Amino acid sequence: MKHRGEVLNKIVTQLNISKTKLVKRVGYDRTTYYSHIKKEDLDYAILWAYGKAIPYDFTKDFPEMKEHIPEYTKEITDFEEMKADRDKWKDKYYELLEKYHGLLENRDRQD
């Protein structure tokens, strides 16, 4: 398992980014940054926030991060990808709709 904090620090160092400016953009202070780079299992949401501020795509280093970041979106480049994306969201909608109806039925039975 890659050390997420070390990867963050390596990228910041390689890109010669001012830590003071970076933490200001992300909304942290320098002390927090130094605690973040010590964390082997740094939360993906925190890493994502740094990536947006740098900018750098940490999903290159941690592909599994895509599954943990709800706002991560891959650029759709062709019609087949568009259909797959549409179907994914349609299926998600139907899944949530079924759960909602199940909750309503349970509530009605309890009344």
Closest CA relative to residue 72, chosen from 47, 95, 90: 47
Q: And the tokens for 44?
A: 């993906």
Model confidence, pTM:
0.62
Reported as a single tens digit per residue, the pLDDT across 7-22 is 999 999 999 999 999 9
User: Is the distance from CB of 50 to CB of 22 less than 8 angstroms?
Assistant: yes
The C-alpha torsion from 8 through 11 and 17 to 21, rounded to 10°, is -20
Tokens of residue 90, six digits: 């349609």
Segment 21-63, tens digit of pLDDT: 999 999 999 999 999 999 999 999 999 999 999 999 999 999 9
> Measured between alpha carbons, how far is residue 62 from residues 29, 38, 39, 72, 97 in Å?
24, 17, 15, 13, 32
